[in-house]
Structure 1
Amino acid sequence: MGTPAVHLPARYYRTYPVESPLGHTEETLDLDPERTVFLLVDVYGLGFDGSTPDDAAGSDLPAFYQDQAIASRDIVRNHIVPAKQAAKRLGLPIVYLTNHLSPGLNESSEWRNLTLRVHNIDVLESWREPNQILAHSDIVAPQAGEYLIKKQLYSGFFETQLDSLLRSLDAYTLITVGFDSRICLATTVTEAMYRNYRVVVLRDAVGTSPYSTGEDAETGDGEWSAPSAIRFIETNVGYTASSAQWIAACDQATGGVSQ
């Protein structure tokens, strides 16, 4: 007998009527564990294992990536890791998307030159293996039996085997976490919807540079980029839920017992 369906309260945003939109509402999704995949987008980098945020700053990471590790540490440790653990208790396939330095990237690449002029980072040098930027902290590293798909550009579907893998797993619903909710995560989930996957983003388990979460607008910190990114997903791509809702739904399905 398989694991029972996962009943997940999921949020979306209604834009109608135009003169006074109805806004957020929730729908309980009945997820088939046999057709659900837990997808981590660009959850890599050293700096998440230490006991304090300052541990990330003591590494050899370039300053740009140190700042990312410090800012995203709470999201990784307190939201992404527990959400992944719940997915594993449910027995879901775990799929990682990670950046890498493609052998085909060269000095004429428009994306390489954009990164150089915007961030002062030359990926032809900083992403050359081995490096600490694309390494995984132990707390969230892929484990035996989990899948790792490497990508060069933002979307996990561009010139990768992600779609083939998901179809071989008979996936329909993608529970998605990671970074950045306006860039790599946003383009990946948008292309997932193009391919008829149902997307659920755990909105407090994603980050938007400078890595505030999609919950922040509701807690009044004044950030706009994260809630704007979440609104885009809820309006144009699929659903969102909190990591706590996801964990509770998984534990209800499994009785809180490891599979």
Structure 2
Amino acid sequence: MIGEIALPVRKYQSVPDLTIGVNPANTAFLLVDCDESSVNRQIVESNIHPALQAARSLGLKVAYLYNAIQGVGGDQDVTTKIHGLAYLENSWNPLTPTFNPFIEPLEGEAVIPKSHKDGFNGTVLDYYLKTWNIDTIIAVGFHLKSCLFHTCLAARHHNYRVVMLRDCTDSNEFPDTVDPANPEGGWFRFVFMRLYETDIGYTSTSTSFIQAAAKS
């Protein structure tokens, strides 16, 4: 059995070289909306893929959430309306996800549909994780301003310690918020990272996670 790994993390107003212990037996690797419908392919193949391989090598439980918005509501579904998707046929026929071959789920890995930005809302995710004694989540996916952020916030509210790999997502930023001089690449992303690292959990990177896994 693989022992605890030491993962370098970042937390607002914490020590510069903060490291936390991560027990693989009680940790899940959660991919949020990483199916082909909404991904940044470069991030998937360059960052998420090797991080997922490291998670599997450690024996982490791997779970996927995907956006099954089509067909999960009736004509008055506010989710489809607010996103301008009222044209979708509400026939209770949720989308079937297609994944990049680099991160395709393996047999036995949970693939859970959701119809909200919060992946815990109305899904079996919390029940599934608790049945495996999971108390820590390593989260990746899309987008920082939407489903990944809301799912991490919900994880915190469900009493999970959650670490987001900040190079395994993007904020899908609006063009007028991009700023190369900003340490996060743009003020929109900076704000979301500050909110996350203040009240929700830790962030790390795929490189730090992979290196920590290699030392185990």
Normalised to the residue count of structure 1, the TM-score between the two structures is 0.74
Unaligned runs of 5+ in 2: none
| Contact map agreement 1:105 1:124 (CA 8 A) in 2 | no
Question: Separation in 1 of the partners of 2:205 and 2:181?
Answer: 13
* SS class of match (1:193): helix
CA distance in 1, matches of 2:94, 2:154: 30
Over the matched positions of the two proteins, sequence identity in percent amounts to 33
**Contact between 2:73 and 2:92, CA under 8 Å: does it hold in 1?**
no
- 1:12 — aligned with what? 11
Secondary structure, in 3 states, of the residue corresponding to 1:81? helix
Q: Take 2:81 and 2:132, find their aligned partners in 1: how far apart are those partners?
A: 37
Question: CA-to-partner distance for each residue in 1:81-140, whole Å, 9 max, x for gaps?
Answer: 110000011111101011114654011111111111xxxx447249986968x4212222
Change (3 A) 1:91 1:131: same
- Please give the root-mean-square deviation of Cα atoms over the aligned residues, in Å: 2.7
CA contact (8 A) 1:90 1:250 kept: yes
CA contact (8 A) 1:13 1:25 kept: no
| Whole-angstrom CA distance in 1 between matches of 2:152 and 2:144 | 9
Aligned residues: 213
Deviates more, 1:75-84 or 1:94-103: 94-103
Are 2:144 and 2:171, in contact at CA under 8 Å, matched by a contact in 1? yes
Equivalents in 1 of 2:153, 2:87: separation in Å? Answer: 25
Q: Does 1:99 align with 2:90?
A: no
Alpha-carbon distance in structure 2 between the residues aligned to 1:225 and 1:30? 30
Q: Is the 8 A contact 2:120 2:154 kept in 1?
A: yes
Letter in structure 2 aligned against 1:232: L
Matches within 5 A, 1:134-145: 134-145=97-108
- 1:76 pairs, out of 31, 36, 44, with 44
In structure 1, runs of 5+ residues without a counterpart are: 15-22, 46-64, 254-259
Higher helix share: 1
Residues 88-237 of structure 1 mapped to structure 2, 5 A cutoff: 88-101=56-69, 103-116=71-84, 121-122=85-86, 124-125=88-89, 134-210=97-173, 222-237=185-200
| AA matched with 2:88 | L
Instruction: Tell me: CA distance 1:217–1:200, structure 2 relative to 1, closer, same or farther (3 Å).
Output: farther
| Alignment partner, residue 209 of structure 2 | 246
> 1:222/1:100 Cα in 2 relative to 1: closer, same or farther (>3 Å)?
closer
Q: 1: CA distance between counterparts of 2:51 and 2:174?
A: 18
- Counterpart secondary structure, 2:79: helix
Residue 30 (structure 1) aligned with residue 21 (structure 2): yes
SS at match of 1:12: coil
1:13 aligns to what SS in structure 2? Answer: coil
TM-score w.r.t. the length of structure 2 is 0.88
- Structure 1: how far apart are the matches of 2:151 and 2:91? 21
> Considering only CA atoms, is the larger Rg found in Structure 1 or Structure 2?
1
Does the 8 A contact of 1:101 with 1:124 survive in 2? no
SS of corresponding position for 2:213 = helix
Partner of 1:42: 33
Aligned equivalents of 1:41, 1:145: Cα separation in 2: 17
Answer whether contact 1:217 1:227 (CA < 8 A) is retained. no
Q: How big is the shift at 1:164?
A: 0.1
